[in-house]
Amino acid sequence: MLGNRSSATEFYLLGFPGSPESHHILFTTFFFFYSVTVMGNILIIVIVCADKRLQSPMYFFLGHLSVLEILIISTAVPLMLWGLLLPGMQTISLRACSTQLYLYLCLGTSEFILMAAMAVDRYVAVCNPLRYNIIMNSNTCIGVVIVSWMFGFLFQIWPVCATFQLTFCKSNVIDHFLCDRGQLFKLSCDDSRFTQFILFLMAVFIIIGALIPTIISYTYIISTIVKIPSASGRRKAFSTCASHFTFVVIGCDSCLLLYVKPKQTQAAEYNRVASLMVLVVTPFLNPFIFTLRNDKFIEAFQDVVKRCCQLLKD
């Protein structure tokens, strides 16, 4: 579809293979996931902001994590849903493609840093409870959030610029539902092996950099919980960390599948499934992981519902 050395100015997204009927089923499924994710995370943000009982560092970080989840799923899923409704391939400009990839990567990076900060917060809460309010004060929490956002947006500038400096002359058809970096490398006529290797190292740096404080924090947390004499005390201490630990395991597993691979040009089906895990499944699970077993949040939610019912009656 392109000349020998002419670079693409727009791309065509193949989306999902299959018949129009299967596309309608996929649209219904992903629209449900997207709607629940957005509404669930908005509900978390509203309740955290509205209820005084949730004015603590853990819920402050959770509110920002919910904002990130909404933004991450919104970078690609609305476009993906639109593509499932339209017959044939979907056109996306070079600028829109680079913007989507940049937002997708930098928001994911910010989320990893925030997850590491939440692990440290749980370490301080369990292992240094008497100094918790001093260490995790409001200035510290705001600073951590600002750093996570700034680092994510700055760290991914070079990777995206390096990707779109390539010459895309083989084709302008991307076998994906979004502007996947691995698929972009497949379309390039340039020798991108060195760039791919550097991007692989950068992905490893982000994930390992987030995992190290998380692993260290949970090592100390577990050793502290084991020493608690009463079973109820151990259960209460563990319940404060269980939601975050579950989210870290799911998030890291899906990101390891997608990002940490020396060969960026892996099979399209593999990339599609891994991207769905990161973009759809993990953000969908977030509201349930952090709320269903959280008694304080459930009480706050019930109070909000009662207030809404009273307003409706009046």
* Separation between Cα atoms, residue 298 and residue 25, nearest integer Å: 33
In a domain, 101, yes or no: yes
Question: pLDDT for 253-311, tens place per residue?
Answer: 666 665 555 454 456 677 787 788 888 888 888 888 877 667 777 888 788 778 777 77
Of 275, 308, 289, 293, nearest to 76 by C-alpha is: 275
Q: Is 156 left (phi over 0), alpha (psi -120 to 50) or beta?
A: alpha
Of 70, 104, 66, nearest to 275 by C-alpha is: 104
Please answer whether residues 16 and 30 qualify as being in contact, where contact means their C-beta atoms are separated by less than 8 angstroms: no
In a domain, 240, yes or no: yes
Other Cβ atoms less than 10 A from the Cβ of 19: the count is 8
In a domain, 3, yes or no: no
How much is the mean pLDDT over the chain?
84
In a domain, 19, yes or no: yes
In a domain, 6, yes or no: no
Model pLDDT, residue 142: 94
Q: How far apart are the first and last CA of the chain?
A: 64
The total domain count for the chain is 1
Please answer whether residues 83 and 27 qualify as being in contact, where contact means their C-beta atoms are separated by less than 8 angstroms: no
Please answer whether residues 41 and 288 qualify as being in contact, where contact means their C-beta atoms are separated by less than 8 angstroms: no
Question: pLDDT for 73-103, tens place per residue?
Answer: 999 999 999 989 887 778 899 899 999 999 9
Of 129, 118, 201, nearest to 159 by C-alpha is: 201
In a domain, 2, yes or no: no
Question: pLDDT for 206-220, tens place per residue?
Answer: 888 888 998 898 889
Give the CATH number for residue 202: 1.20.1070.10
In a domain, 46, yes or no: yes
Structural domain span for residue 222? 11-313
Q: What is the pTM of this model?
A: 0.87
Model pLDDT, residue 265: 43
